[in-house]
Chains A and B, each alone.
Chain A
Amino acid sequence: MGKLDSRGKIVSFPDSAGFSGRRGPELLTFEEALAANLDSLYATARRLARDPAQAEDLVQEVALKAYRSFKDLRSHERFRAWLFTILHNTARNLVRDASRRVPSIDVELDTLLDDPLLAEPLNESPEQQLLQACLPEQLEEGLNALPQAQRTVLWLVDVQEFTLAEVAEMLDIPLGTVASRLHRAHRALRAYLDQGAQQGPGPKGESR
């Protein structure tokens, strides 16, 4: 049985059998690498799952899958992206929550750039005003109003700070599609928050 520190963080496991022979001392054990990413993994699972219980199931499933194939991971520098790839692949099968899924229609990046609206600057509030006026609840509502596909890309790039290329590989979609989804998510969220700042919270925003 492993040990937990005072904050409940996994700090050690009985051994790292099966890994030690193939890695140098500077590399983490699986448990160390998992513990270092567990909070962000769970937070992402919460965005994908219906409720906390389903998110916990999802994380456990991901942890076990990752444990079984950790020995095959060639570069431990890729551990985090690899772990999140497993998370999204597992979530596709495990999470069946249609209510959270707003349909999303992908628009190619070049098509998006041809959109005349892009030539028009957003009727945006000044940056400082937006940052001051945005309440956490409004931001959550705005995020939840986004189509799942856009929300996922937004979360992975803006919050988890993966590169567009990493997200493209993780979700197995073209790089241009990642960029397109991210931009549309930004635009929809900005529109939602600007409207909310003027009219109060409510389910608005771009739907596609």
Chain B
Amino acid sequence: MKSECRIVRRAVLLGEVGSAEAQDHLRDCEACRAFERAERVVARLVRDRAAREPAPHALRERLVVALEAERRRSRHWWTRWPLLSKGAAAALLLAAISGGIYWLQGVAKAERMVEAVAADHLELASRGAALFTAPSSQEMGDWVRSKLKLAVKVPVLPQATLIGARQCRLRGRPAALIVYRLSGPSAGATTASLFVFRSSGERWSQMDTLKGSSSKRICHGHDRGLSVLIWEDRTVTYALVTELPEAQLEEFAKYL
């Protein structure tokens, strides 16, 4: 095959026979003209006579229904704005992680606070301290409220004498300590220390709940062989530390 024929036939197959050179060659070369015509004849035959089935009516109906269903589905915001939905999912995940961290931090804070009140109770028992005294729990309450600027209620405990109160700090936080002397048959001459302070995100929910509680939810923990009762009232947290066994604590709980 001559090189000119090769070039022109290549152009024929690529549908690029518009150039003057190609047209000149086709006019002069019978073999290439036959080649080009053979391509064109078969193409025309196929174009004119190949069967084309029209889309069935049932298919058109199916498409109308399917596209309408797809349109309804795509109206949901999370499919129309996938980036936003991904952002929302990420935000939820972040919030869940943050919430989990915050929750765990709260649990840890509660555990540390139980340790702190138990330690302070033992320290007070060992070295003693000057206390503010008042003739009644009402006046004692006034004094504590004035010092802490908190709505503290000083409870009246069964078979217990209110000895006095003083300001202190618990893990760097302003607090008040109210001291009772327990005089019941099983109490001996022990004391109970009631710490009051502003609630600050402690999660007491991991602690046991004391049975026999009144309307308050009273949590019960242990540290250094002491019982610690914890309850919250609005923004105030109360932590009562005693050496009493659990059975007596349930009786206590009725008065809190």
Interface of A toward B, CB cutoff 8 Å: 1-2, 4, 8-10, 13-14, 17-18, 30-31, 34, 38-43, 46, 52, 56, 59-60, 63-64, 67-68, 109-110, 112-113, 116, 118-119, 121-122, 124, 127, 130-131, 134, 136, 139-140, 143, 154-155, 157-159, 161, 163-164, 175-176, 179-180, 182-183, 186-187, 189-190, 193
Contact across chains for B10 and A43 when beta carbons are under 8 A apart? no
- On whether A186 and B39 interact (CB within 8 A), knowing A1-B68, A158-B47, the answer reads yes
Chain B, residue nearest A44 (CB): B52
B135 within 8 A of A: no
Contact across chains for A38 and B60 when beta carbons are under 8 A apart? yes
B188 within 8 A of A: no
Contact across chains for A63 and B52 when beta carbons are under 8 A apart? no
- CB contacts under 8 Å to A, within B1-50, are 1, 5-6, 9-10, 13-15, 31, 34-35, 37-39, 41-43, 45-47, 49-50
Contact across chains for A159 and B63 when beta carbons are under 8 A apart? no
Contact across chains for A31 and B67 when beta carbons are under 8 A apart? yes
State the CA gap A59–B60 with chains docked (Å). 10
State the CA gap A203–B56 with chains docked (Å). 30
Contact across chains for A136 and B46 when beta carbons are under 8 A apart? no
Chain A, residue nearest B47 (CB): A158
State the CA gap A30–B74 with chains docked (Å). 15
**24 A/B residue pairs, CB under 8 Å, sorted by A:** A1-B68, A2-B68, A4-B60, A4-B61, A4-B64, A17-B75, A41-B55, A43-B53, A52-B53, A60-B66, A64-B67, A67-B71, A109-B10, A113-B10, A136-B51, A155-B46, A157-B43, A158-B46, A182-B13, A186-B38, A187-B38, A187-B42, A189-B42, A193-B45
Residue among A59, A109, A110 making CB contact with B59, cutoff 8 Å: A59
State the CA gap A67–B64 with chains docked (Å). 12
Chain B residue numbers with a CB within 8 Å of A121 are 31, 34-35, 38
Contact across chains for B55 and A134 when beta carbons are under 8 A apart? no
CB of A47, distance to nearest CB on chain B (Å)? 9
Best-buried of B34, B45, B74, B80 by chain A (most CB within 10 Å): B45
CB of A115, distance to nearest CB on chain B (Å)? 9
Closest 7 CB pairs of A and B: A8-B57, A42-B55, A43-B52, A186-B42, A179-B13, A158-B46, A2-B64
Chain B residue numbers with a CB within 8 Å of A139 are 45-46, 49-50
Chain A, residue nearest B62 (CB): A60
Chain A, residue nearest B65 (CB): A1
Contact across chains for A119 and B13 when beta carbons are under 8 A apart? no
State the CA gap A46–B37 with chains docked (Å). 29
Chain A residue numbers with a CB within 8 Å of B49 are 134, 136, 139
> B-side binding surface: helix, strand, loop or mixed?
helix
Contact across chains for B52 and A159 when beta carbons are under 8 A apart? yes
Contact across chains for A159 and B47 when beta carbons are under 8 A apart? yes
Contacts A13-B68, A140-B51 supplied; 12 other A-B pairs, CB < 8 Å: A1-B68, A10-B60, A10-B63, A59-B55, A60-B62, A109-B14, A113-B6, A113-B10, A131-B45, A157-B43, A186-B38, A186-B43
State the CA gap A131–B46 with chains docked (Å). 10
Chain A residue numbers with a CB within 8 Å of B65 are 1
CB of B6, distance to nearest CB on chain A (Å)? 5
State the CA gap A78–B142 with chains docked (Å). 84
Chain A residue numbers with a CB within 8 Å of B52 are 39-40, 43, 159
State the CA gap A64–B43 with chains docked (Å). 32
Residue among A39, A42, A109 making CB contact with B13, cutoff 8 Å: A109
Contact across chains for A34 and B63 when beta carbons are under 8 A apart? yes
- CB contacts under 8 Å to A, within B63-87, are 63-68, 70-71, 74-75, 80
Chain A residue numbers with a CB within 8 Å of B55 are 38-39, 41-42, 59
CB of A86, distance to nearest CB on chain B (Å)? 14
B54 within 8 A of A: yes
Chain B residue numbers with a CB within 8 Å of A186 are 38-39, 42-43
Residue among B37, B61, B63 making CB contact with A127, cutoff 8 Å: B37
State the CA gap A63–B10 with chains docked (Å). 37
B58 within 8 A of A: yes
Contact across chains for B42 and A63 when beta carbons are under 8 A apart? no
Contact across chains for B43 and A158 when beta carbons are under 8 A apart? yes
